[in-house]
Each structure stands twice: as structure tokens, then as C-alpha cells.
Amino acid sequence: MTRAIYRPPWRIDLTVRDGVASPVPSAALARAVATALDTVGAPAPASIGLILSDDRELAALNAAHMGKTGPTDVLSFPLLPPGTFTPGASPPDEPRPPGTRLHLGDIVVSVERAIAQAEAGSGGQTGDVRWSPADELRLLVVHGTLHVCGRDHAEPDEEAAMRALERRILAG
């Protein structure tokens, strides 16, 4: 099932795969995405895709796109260069039909993995947080949105900044 959720100036195209049950209402997930986009100053108006899936699909995507074996909790597929999300940057000057939105990219989350990580106390992106599956799913959605917006955590300073940003967004 796919539906568009509007949180102006954003459209979140939410797809829930068959057999996947989210512990978080769709509106709350859309709010988390919109808050992250607002926080990083994403170009607006824009759309972003959010797909709630399972370990099987994430394992296939992880192998195809990251060259890694096994499932992961979240994958992001940004469509714009990271510089697009710096303060004062202009959105890409590309022709679009009138009335259409700039598409920022897509996020795919394994709800199955979010639940397992929360139940095992291995959540929070640090692998040591015990909280509800709903909290873990919200974190993964925010984390994926930040990746679409050019944020990364490969270096220690980037990781600290990204974790602080996640905490701020989730607290808001």
C-alpha cells in the first residue's frame, strides 16, 4: 500500500509492504521525516519516499547496492548531491513539469530489524540502547532521512554531529 502524506512543504510517499505491520502510526513517521527535512533545511517543496519493509528485502538491497551480505536496518538512496543541503544552497536547476516537486530520494527500513534490535537492546544506532520498537523505528526513519540529506557518520566528528542531530529531531 502506498499513500502520500502531506506535511507542507513536504510530501512523504509512504509505502508499506504486504505483511509488514508498523509499531508507529503513519502520521508520526511522516512527522519525523518532515522534522528532519525542516531541521537540515532541505530544498522545498519536495517529496521523499519512505518504504517500510522486512529483512528479506533489505538483505537483497544491501547485497545489490552496498555489496554486503545479510539484512541491515535502513538504507537510503539520495538523489541530490550533499551540497544541496547546506545553508543558503539553491535547489538543482533542472527542468520539471509545472506543479511537480523535487524528489530528494528514498528510504527503505526493515521494520522486522527495528523490532529485533529494540527487543535485544541493541538499538539506537550505537547498538546499546534498549527502548521500544516504536522508538527504534522512528530513529531509523530519521537516520535514513539524514542520509538522504547528505549527512554521514563515517568519521568520528561526523558521527557525533549526526547522533546529536538525531537526538534533537527525536526530542522535538
Give residue-wise pLDDT tens across range 96-130: 777 788 999 999 999 999 999 998 888 777 777 77
pLDDT tens for 15-52 read 999 999 999 999 999 999 999 999 999 998 999 999 99
Q: Are 73 and 58 in contact (CB under 8 A)?
A: yes
Distance CA 17, CA 20 (A): 6
Global pTM value: 0.93
**CATH code given to domain 2-171:** 3.40.390.30
Backbone angles phi, psi at 63, to 5 degrees: -70, -45
Q: Domain ranges in the chain?
A: 2-171
Q: Are 103 and 93 in contact (CB under 8 A)?
A: no
Give me the pLDDT at residue 132, please: 93
CA distances from 47 to 31, 70, 78 (A): 13, 29, 12
Q: Are 71 and 35 in contact (CB under 8 A)?
A: no
